[in-house]
Structure 1
Amino acid sequence: MLNEITESWDRIKSYIKPLPLYYSNNFSEITGADIYFKLENLQRTGSFKIRGALNCILKNQDKCRGGIIAASAGNHAQGVAFSAKTLGIKAVIVMPEFTPMVKVSSTQSHGAEVVLHGQSFEDAYKHAVQLGKERGLHFIHPFDDHDVIAGQGTIGYEILREKPDIDQIVVPVGGGGLISGIAEYVKGFNPDIKIIGVQAEEAAGMVSSLSEGRVVSLSSSATFAEGIAVKQVGKLTFESCQNCVDDLVTVSEREIALAVLEYIERAKLVVEGAGAAPLAALLAGKIDVKDKMTVLVVSGGNIDVTTISRIISRGMTATGRFMTVSIILRDVPGALTSLSQEISRLQANIHQIDHIRNDQRVPLSQSRVNVSLETRGQEHIDRIMERLSSLYEIERLV
C-alpha cells in the first residue's frame, strides 16, 4: 500500500492545495506537548475528501467517462463534484435530506446534480447505487474503496514527508476511509508511530465493530458531526483498522462542541464537528500527548453558520461565560431599574432581557423577567446566583 499511496499522491498533487503542518503554540502550551494540525479544512472544497475522489476518478477514467454518482452527507459530495467538474465528467450526488444547506449549495456550485433522499447516509447510499445502475453511472464510494482509501492516505505521506519523527497521529473516524489510508501508509513507513482514531459517542460504529470482531450496523448515528455520522463502517476499512490502528476513543457531543469553540477562539479556525473530534479527545484527556509530537488531522471546515451559532451559545454556557435566569419582580415602577443596577454591581453584562407581565403563573402584582448574562466563569455565576437569590425569587434556566 505504501507505493500505491505514493503513486496516488503523484496522481493528484497538481489538483490539491499543499498544506504544511501548522504548529499550535496555544495547544502545545496547554498540554505540555508538541501539537501540530494537518489543516484539511483549508483544502479545496473544505475537506480531505477531494483526495480520495480525485484518485479514484483519475485511476478509473474509462469507467467514469459516462458519468459518476456518489452518496454523501456533504464533504465526499463536494470532493466528487469538484473532481468531476475539473476533469469534465458529469456527476450526480445523492445526499440525505438533513444535509446542511452550505454543503448542498457548495456541491451544486461545482456543477453536480444533487438528489436529496432519505434520513441517513445509508438511505442515500442505497438510492445512489440503484440510481447509478439505472443511469449507467460509475459509483464512487465515500470510504470503502481501495482507490479512495489510497487517496486519503496521501495525508499520511505528506505528514511524514515533512516530519518523519512524529510520535502519533490522531484522526477522526466515520466510515474509516481516512484513518485506513493514513494508517496503511504510516505503518508501512514506521510501525512505531501510533495511529489513534476518534469517533462520536453517538456514531461509534468502528469502536463497536472492533469490539465484536465483525462489522456491525448501528441503529442510529445521531451526531451533529455529520461528517462522521455513519451507521456501518466498510469491510475494507474495518480490516485496515484491525491491522493498523493502535487505539480508538470516543467523544461526547458536548466535547466536540467545546473543541469547535476552542478552534474558533484560540486558533482562529472554522472547523466542523468531525474535524474537531481529535482536539475534543485531546482536551478531554483521552489521549496521552505529554512529551510527544502529535498531529491532529483537521478533516474539514464545512460547518453551517446556524450550527456555529448554537455551538458558541452552548460552549459559552458550558464554560461559565453565559447564563439565563428567571426572576420574579414586583410590578412597580423602578423594579426593573433596581434589578439592572444590582446586576451591574455584580459586574455581569446583560445580553438580553425579556419582561413578561402576562405570565399566568405569576400573581397580578408581580411580573417575570428572564435575563441572559455574559459572565466570567462558574465562580462568578455562583456569586450572582447567591446575591440575586437573597433579593428575589429566581430560577436558573441556562
Structure 2
Amino acid sequence: MKLHINTPLIESLSVGKGLNGKVWLKLENCQPCGSFKARGVGYACHQHVINGAKKLVTSSGGNAGLAVAYAGRVLNIPVTVVVPTTTKISAINLIKEQGAEVVIKGDAWDEAHQYGLQLTEKDGGYIHPFDDPLLWEGHSTLIDEVIETGIKPDAVVLSVGGGGLLSGIVKGLRKNKLFDVPVIAVETDGASSLAASMNAGKLVSVSQIMSVASSLGAKKVSQHAFELTNTHPIYSHIVTDKQAIKACSQFLNEHRYLVEPACGASLAAVYDSRVILKEKSNILIVVCGGVGINTEQLKEWSRSLGV
C-alpha cells in the first residue's frame, strides 16, 4: 500500500534564470500531508503495521509528526505524536485534525524523542523523523519517479535537517546507477549541523538552533547522513534566513506555492546561481514543502528580516 502520491515534476524558467541548464522542480509540497515526509514516513508506518504494530508513536512537532498522523488515519491505526513545548499551536491542531493524540513533553525535540521511545510498547512501532533505513527507502522513490519521466539529473539540490531526505536521495541515485551525481546539501546559517560535522571531519552537534527554518533544526544529523559525505559527492551550502525567506516570497509570486523557510533554503541556493550549478544540464530541486508557514507568518518574517 502506497501512502504517498507521485508528485509533479515541472521545469522552472524563473528559478533557473542565470543558469545554462534546465531547472526541474519536484513538487513534494503537493503530497497529502504537505511535505516529502509522506514518502519515507508512509513507507515506515506501513511496514510497522505489516509486522504487527497496533499503534504508532513519533516525536515531531512538524512535518514528520503530521505525516505519521496522516499515515495512521489512512491505515486506521492509533497514533501518538510527542511534541516539545516550543511547537506552534497551529501544528498541534493539524496533527489532531488527522485524529492523532498529541503529548507535549520537553523543551526540545531530543526530550520529546526520548519520551516517545518510552511510550512505545512491545506491540507498537516508533517512527523516527529522519534516522531510519525505512525512511530512506521511502524517500528514494522520489528519484525513481524522476527517472521514469526520462530525465536524468546531473545535480540535485535539497535541504538538510536531520539528514533523512539526503540519505533517501543518495539511496535513490545509487539505485538508479547515478553514483557521480552531486548533491548540494543546503542549510540555513544557525541550523547548519551537517556543515559543522563536515568542517570538523566527524559527527558533531551544534550548541543551539538560531534560524527561522525550524524544520532544519536538528542539532546533529544522523551518523548515516554524515558518512555519506565521505562516499558520495555532497557539497555543503549555507544560506541566510533572509535569503530563505526572500526565496519563499519569490517562489510564491512565480509559482503560486507557499513553502516554509526550510524549503526556501534550497530555492535560495539556486536563485543565487551557485557556481557549481553553472555548467549542469538538468538540475533537480526537491521542493520539500512544509506546513510550518502561512501568509501572515511569511509577511512577519519578511518584515523582521528586511526582505
Residue in structure 2 matched with residue 303 of structure 1 by the alignment: 292
Establish whether residue 169 from structure 1 lines up as the match of residue 156 from structure 2: yes
1:47-82 CA-to-partner distances (Å, cap 9, x unmatched) read: 011111111122232555321110113100011111
2 CA distance for matches of 1:245 and 1:144?
A: 20
Residue in structure 2 matched with residue 17 of structure 1 by the alignment: 5
Residue in structure 2 matched with residue 242 of structure 1 by the alignment: 230
TM-superposed CA distance for 1:94, in Å, is: 0.8
1 CA distance for matches of 2:244 and 2:52?
A: 37
Residue in structure 2 matched with residue 187 of structure 1 by the alignment: 174
TM-superposed CA distance for 1:303, in Å, is: 2.9
Structure 1 or 2: more helix by fraction = 1
1 CA distance for matches of 2:274 and 2:80?
A: 40
User: What SS does the aligned partner of 2:82 have?
Assistant: strand
2 CA distance for matches of 1:190 and 1:201?
A: 30
One-letter identity of the residue aligned with 2:256: K
Residue in structure 1 matched with residue 102 of structure 2 by the alignment: 114
Residues 210, 242 of structure 1: 8 Å contact kept? no
Between the two structures, name the one with larger relative contact order (CA 8 Å, sep ≥ 6): 2
TM-superposed CA distance for 1:314, in Å, is: 4.7
Residues 173, 228 of structure 1: 8 Å contact kept? yes
Residues 72, 94 of structure 1: 8 Å contact kept? yes
Normalization by structure 1: what TM-score? Answer: 0.72
Describe the shift of the 1:126–1:288 C-alpha distance in structure 2 as closer, same or farther (beyond 3 A): same
One-letter identity of the residue aligned with 1:308: L
Residue in structure 2 matched with residue 372 of structure 1 by the alignment: none
Normalization by structure 2: what TM-score? Answer: 0.92
User: What SS does the aligned partner of 2:16 have?
Assistant: helix
TM-superposed CA distance for 1:130, in Å, is: 2.0
Superposed, 1:196-215 pairs within 5 Å as 196-215=184-203
TM-superposed CA distance for 1:141, in Å, is: 0.6
In the alignment of these two chains, the number of paired residues is 304
Establish whether residue 146 from structure 1 lines up as the match of residue 133 from structure 2: yes
Q: Of 76, 81, 91, which aligns to 2:69? A: 81
TM-superposed CA distance for 1:128, in Å, is: 1.2
Residues 191, 213 of structure 2: 8 Å contact kept? no
Residue in structure 2 matched with residue 95 of structure 1 by the alignment: 83
Residues 26, 266 of structure 1: 8 Å contact kept? yes
Residue in structure 2 matched with residue 129 of structure 1 by the alignment: 117
Calculate the aligned-residue CA RMSD, in Å. 2.0
Establish whether residue 157 from structure 1 lines up as the match of residue 144 from structure 2: yes
User: What SS does the aligned partner of 1:138 have?
Assistant: strand
Residues 9, 146 of structure 2: 8 Å contact kept? yes
Establish whether residue 69 from structure 1 lines up as the match of residue 57 from structure 2: yes
User: What SS does the aligned partner of 1:203 have?
Assistant: coil
